[in-house]
Amino acid sequence: MKMYLITGTSGFIGSNLAKRILKDNDDIRVIGIDNMNDYYDVSLKEYRLKELEKFGNFTFIEGNIADKELIDRVFEEYKPSIVVNLAAQAGVRYSITNPGVYMESNVIGFYNILEACRHNPVEHLVYASSSSVYGGNTKVPFSTDDKVDNPVSLYAATKKSNELFAHTYSKLYNIPTTGLRFFTVYGPAGRPDMAYFGFTNKLINGETIKIFNYGNCKRDFTYVDDIVEGIIRVINKAPEKKTGEDGLPIPPYAVYNIGNSNPENLLDFVNILQEELVRAGVLPEDYDFESHKELVPMQAGDVPITYADTTPLERDFGFRPNTSLREGLRNFAEWYKEFYIDKEKGKSK
């Protein structure tokens, strides 16, 4: 069996990617690593993991990628040919108050993965970068050719460092690496710290939702299935190993944006979300949304717009994310009702 190692497997993107690979391939064994931390509700991570454990060709290891001994042991035992590093401490705002966690997971953890790939050669290392590396860039859409030397959060700085480390290891050790800059990923069983999920929780509890930059933010919302499709296409086409005129390797290194290329205004996004929450029966039809909205200034570390240029992704892989925001939020609202509201009703019977 071909071995795939996916870090962050109980996370939002990691679990969806692992599930898709396991469903589509009987001849691939997925080894998953996750430290199951409590940055957000662990029961969500357990739910995702249970879905994966239904597959006989899935093996889960609970542990931290910052633990070098563990990573070395996993590589030596399973000898993965494909590595997808999605384990990371996520969240821009959290990085302002908890920087140490980001250094451990996003920097030391990624270094451990690179070192393991160096000593146990792999066909391809694919890793999560982020649209946050574009910082306060005002030229849109964001292109991978743009300069990204001015991050506005520590989270963004750690993701930029991943790209630099990967380039160095590609150059020195001829390891094929591809970084993917994800743009605001959302969908069913997503992260509760993301706006659409957090807004839903607050509205259910009758709390007020804060809409930053007075609603003048735009986000390139990307549905999780589109992200997974992009990752799978990238996995199967590693950057080619070539030798330069100097006889040294030309780094088999690439970076792509994966975004919807259609930035949505935050107020429009909130309106669609509330319509879909009512439609799914999460909120009553007569819910007074206006009294539960508060327009507030921009938060530190945030940027006013994210907008992906996905031309290189289309050119090299024939793929462009295309799930509409309404379709994606509809799927989320229906999942939310089933996972939270119907489950609670079942308990109270």
**DSSP 3-state assignment of 286?**
coil
Say what percent of the chain tops pLDDT 90: 81
**pLDDT, position 93:** 81
CATH of the domain at 59: 3.40.50.720
Secondary structure, 3-state, 91-155: CHHHHHHCHHHHHHHHHHHHHHHHHHHHHCCCCEEEEEEEHHHHCCCCCCCECCCCCCCCCCCHH
CA distance between the termini of the chain: 46
Nearest C-alpha neighbor of 4 from the set 226, 210, 225, 236: 236
Helix 266-280 crosses helix 195-204 at what angle (to 10 degrees)? 50
Residue whose C-alpha is closest to residue 312's, from 250, 251, 242, 233? 233
User: What's the average model confidence in pLDDT over 168-188?
Assistant: 96
Instruction: Indicate whether 241 belongs to any domain.
Output: yes
- pLDDT value of residue 347: 63
Mean pLDDT value across residues 9-26 = 97
Query: Each residue of 294-336: pLDDT tens digit?
Result: 988 887 777 778 899 999 999 999 999 999 999 999 999 999 9
Task: Note whether residue 346 is domain-resident.
Answer: no
Q: Please state, as a whole number, how many other Cβ atoms lie within 10 Å of the Cβ of residue 157.
A: 20
- Torsion, CA 228, CA 181, CA 334, CA 303, rounded to 10: 180
Does 331 fall in a domain?
A: no
Whether 284 shows a pLDDT value over 50: the answer reads yes
Give the tens place of pLDDT for each residue, 64-96.
999 999 999 999 999 999 999 999 998 888 888
The single-letter code of the amino acid at 123 is E
**d(C-alpha 105, C-alpha 113), whole Å:** 11
d(CA 223, CA 21): 17
Average of per-residue pLDDT across 166-194? 96
> For the chain, what is the domain count?
1
Give CA separation, 302 vs 135, 156, 217, in Å. 8, 10, 9
Range of the domain at 256: 2-187+222-260+306-323
User: Is 336 a domain residue?
Assistant: no
pLDDT of residue 349: 47
What pLDDT does 340 receive?
Answer: 92
Enzyme catalytic residues: 155
